[in-house]
Amino acid sequence: MRAPRRASLSLRGAVFLQLGAALWPGLASPAALNAAPAPEIATLISAAQGTYPASKLPVICVALHQSTASPAQNLALLRKIGAGCARTDISWASIERAGSAGAYDWQDVDDLWSPLCRAGIRPIMIAGYNNFAVAIANHYSAMCPHMAVELFNEPSARNWTGTPWSGASYAFMLAPVSAAIKAAQPSVTVYSGGIGLDPHDPAGWITQMTGAGQRFPGVDAYALHPYFYETPPPGTAVPEQLLIDAAHFARDAGSSGQAKPIALTEYGFPLKLVQGDLGKQGIYVARGILASIIGRYRVQTIYDLVDDGTGDADPENTYGLFQNAAAEVPYGMKPAAIAFRSVTEAMAKARTFTVAFDAAISAPTISFDKSNSEVFIAWTYDASGAKSYRRPIGSFSHVSCEDVLGKTYPCSYANGILSMTLSESSGPVVATALK
């Protein structure tokens, strides 16, 4: 990630530069995205059914750019949506300036992270190379006890290094630097650099990385950026596509005997890729988080907190959950922020969560059991029409329903059965059942 601009080629960059990036092996072509993945999505959701402790829920994170809001404003926005984690890059050039090798000026980064860490916000700090990455861990591990370091951003992309890295060349950086961080600060979580799906041979890239003869005991999880869309429509894949991408990624990453958990450290939708529909952007953000719960990944990180600018000519200006400071409503909540908050509120204080699936209507349900309530989120990814949803949920004193955009949604509850109509366009429905 670069601040303040973003020029990633993690498929979204391939979209706008129209490089015709190769698709992950086993995925559909862009013209067939709406139909072909459905059987594999259904298989993966079916396999995930069951009840799990809340400790298996992903950490829900937001990417932010330090330049788009003040530290106090960033904290206020993160609290407003219930985010417990933030991810940002740490600029080496601004901290260890030319001619000052080994001398670090942390003031600007401290200004951001000191209030966030005091508030319990977990950081994911993007860094690269040995001494600087270790210095970050040493400096922030006490201030931010739950911190993670992500070793380089999208090392598989072509726009971050003068000579593009192969998976093997990246492995020779990842192995020693991750080991050095763990030796200095064993409690710091280490992720591989978030790998996009854009290389000409993505399976070859990740298998090169894990098969290069290097070992990664210092890496806690492999990071993935599962963007998947191309323009024009219908090239935007449904958010549940990330279940396929992550499953293939995990398979290929583990092919050399070095399987690890998966962390989704960047994911989102610019407005143009959801046909300019702010509501759909919010629905897709919610479904992307819900899919990550089904997958039980370590983290899901939505890109990004605040629009980089105003107007939609530049896609970077429309990813945000909040409007830019220069917008007509400075830092106004977009539907995506409301949807994000709907899911984090449903997750909050859960003791366990249960994944269920009605394959006949392509409808997952995730329920969160709490001390005085149970919250059910149900949706369908089948766009062929409205679906009749009926699910026995048990005995409750009162049940009410809203969509993830905060609007009352018609549902009924009688004899222990929750009933409603679901549609892909209306998005997930949140049913709150009081015990």
For 401-411, how does the pLDDT look when each residue is reduced to its tens digit (9 = 90+)? Answer: 999 999 999 99
Residues ≥6 apart with Cβ < 8 Å to 51: 352, 353, 354
pLDDT of residue 25: 32
Place of tokens 């990071």: 223
Q: What is the arithmetic mean of pLDDT over 110-116?
A: 95
* Whether residue 377 has pLDDT greater than 80: yes
Average pLDDT, stretch 131-147? 94
d(CA 63, CA 308): 12
The distance between the two most distant Cα atoms of the chain, rounded to a whole number of Å, is 74
Statement: residue 215 has pLDDT above 70 = yes
Q: What is the pLDDT of residues 6-61, one digit of tens each?
A: 333 333 333 333 222 223 333 333 333 344 468 999 999 999 999 999 999 999 99
Specify the pLDDT at position 199.
55
What structural domains and CATH numbers belong to the chain? 12-347 (3.20.20.80), 352-434 (2.60.40.1180)
C-beta separation of 264 from 300 below 8 A: yes
The pLDDT of residue 376 is above 60: yes
Which of 142-146, 271-275, 366-370, 381-385 is the least confident region? 271-275
pLDDT band with cut points at 50, 70 and 90 for residue 99: low
Q: What is the pLDDT of residues 220-231, one digit of tens each?
A: 999 999 988 754
Give residue 267's pLDDT: 96
Give the pLDDT confidence score for residue 37 in this predicted structure.
65
* Beta strand 352-358 pairing with 373-378: unpaired
Q: Decide if pLDDT at 203 tops 80.
A: no
Residues 6+ positions from 202 with CB-CB distance below 8 Å:
22, 24, 25, 156, 195
Q: What is the pLDDT of residue 433?
A: 98
Q: For residues 385 and 221, what is the distance between their CA atoms, to the nearest angstrom?
A: 38
Confidence band for 201, pLDDT divided at 50, 70 and 90: low
pLDDT of 197:
67
Closest by CA position to 26, among listed 44, 7, 5 = 44
Which residues lie closer than 8 Å to 405 by C-beta, 6 or more apart?
279, 282, 283, 335, 338, 339, 342, 427
pLDDT of res. 41 = 95
Burial (0-12, 13-18, 19+ Cβ within 10 Å), 267? buried
Q: What is the mean pLDDT of the chain?
A: 88
